[in-house]
Structure 1
Amino acid sequence: MTERNWQKSTYSEEGSACVYLATTPAGTILLRESDEPETILPISPSQLGSLIARLRND
C-alpha cells in the first residue's frame, strides 16, 4: 500500500470536519473527510477546479 502525504485544507478549523487532499504519481487528486477517512474520492485537477469554483459561487 502506498503511503499518502495528506494535506489538510487551510479552511478546515480545529475540531471540525476537515477535508484532506493527496496526489498520486499519475496526477490524480484524492479527497477524503476526517469523519470517514477510509472513503477516498479520486478526481482530476480540472474536476477539483470546478468543485472549488462552484463552492465559491454558492
Structure 2
Amino acid sequence: MGAEQRHLEPLPGLADGSQLGKRYIDEAGSVELLVTKGGSGSFEIGSSPLAVKAAKPLPSSD
C-alpha cells in the first residue's frame, strides 16, 4: 500500500520477448530456464543470449 510501481523496459537488443511455458538454454547446455510468466524481455548470460530449447520427439506408439 502506498508503494510506487515502476514500469521497466528491456535493454535494446534484449526485447525479443520470452514465451510462457518454453524452456531456454545456453550454448553449453549447462543452464536451462522454464518461463512461468512471459514478458517483453529476453534472457542472456553475460553477452550470450539463451535460445528456446527444441522439443524432444515423442516415441512412436506402434
Larger Rg: 2
Higher strand residue share: 1
Tell which has more relative contact order, 1 or 2 (C-alpha 8 A, sep 6+).
Answer: 2
Higher helix residue share: 1
Query: Does the pair score TM above 0.5?
Result: no
TM-score, normalised by the number of residues in structure 2: 0.24
